[in-house]
Amino acid sequence: GAVVSQHPSRVICKSGTSVKIECRSLDFQATTMFWYRQFPKQSLMLMATSNEGSKATYEQGVEKDKFLINHASLTLSTLTVTSAHPEDSSFYICSASRSHGNQPQHFGDGTRLSIL
């Protein structure tokens, strides 16, 4: 069964709305989770590393104020797309690892965000 749960799976909303996406590790504690973004027919682009109890680490070119990440517990990270616009429409995927470096990361099912 799934070990990383992501919610919601699909969001359609108006421009200017803020959207929160949740990522949960179901049966393990994850001090680190990752957020990726994928445009149609393209690869996954790492947006940020979510660190439990501290600030997220953002990749170059990713706006911190636009994509707010909170990792308040060892099993939950949230990504909030603030004041979303059509260009933010994308597939957002989170991941977490049970065992650092030696096991594959487990990916959530992804959230398809469509901004009208």
Partner 1 sequence: ELKVEQNPLFLSMQEGKNYTIYCNYSTTSDRLYWYRQDPGKSLESLFVLLSNGAVKQEGRLMASLDTKARLSTLHITAAVHDLSATYFCAVDVDTDKLIFGTGTRLQVFP
Handedness of CA 110, 16, 48, 45 (dihedral sign): positive
Q: Tell the smallest beta-carbon distance from residue 60 to partner 1 (Å).
A: 10
Answer for which of 12, 26, 46, 72 binds partner 1 (CB under 8 A) is 46
Question: How far apart, in Å, are the Cα atoms of 110 and each of 5, 28, 53, 87, 101?
Answer: 9, 19, 24, 18, 22
Answer for which of 5, 13, 17, 45 binds partner 1 (CB under 8 A) is 45
Q: Tell the smallest beta-carbon distance from residue 99 to partner 1 (Å).
A: 9
Report strand pairing: 10-13 vs 111-115. parallel
Q: Say whether residue 110 binds partner 1 (CB under 8 A).
A: yes
Q: Tell the smallest beta-carbon distance from residue 103 to partner 1 (Å).
A: 7
- 95-108 CB burial, b ≥16 within 10 A, e <16: bbbbeeeeeeebbb
Binding interface with partner 1 (CB under 8 A)? 6, 32, 34, 36, 41-46, 49, 93, 95, 97, 100-110, 112
